[in-house]
Structure 1
Amino acid sequence: METVGEVLARLGGWAMAADLVRVTSRRSLAAAVQRGDVQRIARGVYGLPGLAADLATAIAHDGVLSHTSAAAVWRLPLLVPPAKPHITLPTNRNAKAGPPAVLHWADLPVGDRRTRRTSLLRTVLDCSRILPFGEALAVADAALATGRVTQDELTAAAVTMSGFGRPNALRVAAVATSRAESFLESMLRSLLLEAGIGGFEPQVHVTTGTSRVRVDLGDRANRIALEAEGFEFHGSAAKFAADCRRYDELVAAGWLVLRFTYQQVIGDPRWVLATVEGARAGRIDVPDDG
């Protein structure tokens, strides 16, 4: 017979008392709690010690992780982690005493209740309700990149939304892409979109004299490449040499390459936009490379 701890591990770390008793016994459950092998999370709900705090909070409130808290569970990129867990309760459920949380109310499908988190699609829409455009776009881009949500699904779901955040969700759905490769790239693209600077596409392939390379954001008409540079170092002499070669080949092929760091994109967006606009002003009538 499985121990209470083994049953909890198999069920994802937590379970209702009735489910545990069904496969073990009340005596086994009580003994596991007394030994410290199992913790009581809420009335009739038990979990393994060390259960993730956000999940324990959702269970204690008898709700599901949602918004940016669900995004963190789905491993979607966030500029700032939520200070308190976002928990969504069924519309017919009153709030009850529990750990600090930001509470929301909505109709919750059975699947969300079972996993204690909103679906990937619902999470993107909820994030669009509460996050600024750029951060919401980064969440949506990352979700599309998983292949578990399509842009058509995202657009259709945004159209059916109502209430606070719908305009932002519609705007995000219209421009989100599965081609973005990083949070910083999405944030950089959002700056261009908000400023009305068009013509830049994500992950553009450029044919140089000896190879074919990709740039984070490329303006084919003006041969301008924008690179979103994260915190990563080159890692090795070989990678550093490859990065230099890539940059040199782009320049030799007639492309202007602008590289922006995390601090610049997040902390000095006006300078980033002014630099891009200045570069484009000096590149008028540069022939396309086809």
Structure 2
Amino acid sequence: METLAEVLKRLGGRATFAELTQLTSKRKVAAAVSAGDIQRLARGLYGLPGNESADQLVAIAYDGVVSHLSAAATWDLPLLSRPKKPHITVPKKRRPRPGLPAVLHWAPTSAEDRTRRLTSILRTVTDCARILPFGEALAVADAGLRLGLTRRELIAATTVMRGSGSINGRAVGTAATAASESFLESMLRALLIQDGIEGFEPQVTVTRGWFRARVDLGHRQAQVALEAEGYEYHGTSSAFAADCRRYDELVAAGWLVLRFTYQQIVFEPAWVVDVVREALSRPTGHSARIAGAHLLGERAERVGW
């Protein structure tokens, strides 16, 4: 005779109380729950233990799917902070009902999303683009592209967005790139985009003889490099020396290097933008030599050389 765990496995891992009691008794269902052989997922719904994540259990309780920030965390997309309560999307006409703590969203979902109780990467990115600030949404979208989404897919999905958050969503779709390599780099690039600062490209390669290095964001014409510095630190003297050499070579190649920390990018965005604008206003390379020669000529005229 099949055990209740075997019955649930045969039924796809989930079954209603009515389905189980047709094959056994209420007492045996209660005993299986008590023994930990099966678990109560929601009122009248049972499943195998360990099959679902905590967020998926909440989604099952609401008969919805894990979405938005919770889906981003599940897909390992970067977030400034993880959500305190799971985000769950339920059908549009579903009435609110008592349940576990959750942030509920009402929207249609695909059959594939409902089967796995989780929105796809594309749907997750577009959902986040609706509700997150531009910088955080851009970081999620950049990471989504690195995971295999195409720009064509993302732009197509954001172009047809309507309603709340659609303007932000379309801006994110246009600006997103797989070239960005970190959450902080995406956040820094977002500050420049929002302030109308143009010319910076992600992961620009700088060469000087044998030397070759990539900078997080580089302005080729102005020769200004921006680096987004996370919490990482140099664990050895050789690593510290290599970093010093890298920045010395960049400066020797004529580049002005600005390094911004997590705290500055997240909590002092106006200062970061001001510093970048000031750096761009300073003459560099050929322009600097012309400006220097012009200044020397003015001084020569004043002293009668």
Matched, 1:253 2:257: no
| Aligned-partner Cα distance in 2 for 1:174–1:123 | 17
Deviation track 1:149-194 (CA, whole Å, cap 9, x = no partner) reads 1111101011111111111010000010001111000000000000
- Which SS does the other structure have where 2:145 is aligned? helix
Question: Deviation at 1:285?
Answer: 6.1
TM-score by length of 2: 0.84
User: Residues of 2 paired with 1:284 and 1:7: CA distance?
Assistant: 73
> How far does residue 246 in structure 1 lie from its aligned partner after superposition?
1.1
Question: Conserved in 2, the CA contact under 8 Å of 1:8 and 1:48?
Answer: no
Provide the rounded CA distance (Å) in 1 between the counterparts of 2:196 and 2:165.
21
Deviations 1:98-129 (A, max 9, x none): 11111111111110001111111011111111
Does the 8 A contact of 1:209 with 1:249 survive in 2?
A: no
Check the 8 A contact 1:179/1:203 in 2, yes or no: yes
Map 1:1-290; keep pairs closer than 5 Å: 15-17=13-15, 26=24, 30-42=30-42, 43-48=44-49, 52-147=53-148, 149-283=149-283, 286=286
Structure 1 unmatched ranges of 5 or more: none
**The residue matched to 1:83 in structure 2 has which SS?**
coil
Whether the 8 Å CA contact 1:38–1:49 is kept in 2: the answer is: no
- Structure 2 residue runs without a partner (length 5+): 288-305
Please give the alpha-carbon distance, in whole angstroms, between the structure 1 residues aligned to 2:215 and 2:5: 50
RMSD of aligned alpha carbons: 2.6
Whether the aligned pair in 1 keeps the contact of 2:8 and 2:15 (CA below 8 Å) is no
Structure 2: distance between partners of 1:6 and 1:247: 62
Letter of the aligned partner of 1:61 in structure 2? Y
Relative distance call for 1:231 and 1:26 in structure 2 (3 A) is farther
Task: Please say if residues 89 and 106 of structure 2, whose CA atoms lie closer than 8 Å, have aligned partners that are also in contact.
Answer: yes
> What amino acid is the match of 1:176?
A
- SS state of the match for residue 13, structure 2? strand
Identity %: 57
Contact 2:36 2:49 survives alignment (8 Å): no
Give, in angstroms, the shift of residue 239 of structure 1: 2.0
Deviation at 1:209, TM superposition (A): 2.6
Aligned-partner SS, 1:258: strand
Q: Give me the TM-score of the superposition, normalised by structure 1.
A: 0.88
Higher Rg of the two aligned structures? 2
Cross-structure match for 2:303: none
Greater Cα shift, 270-279 or 2-11: 2-11
DSSP-derived class of the 1:225 partner: strand
SS for the counterpart of 1:227 is strand
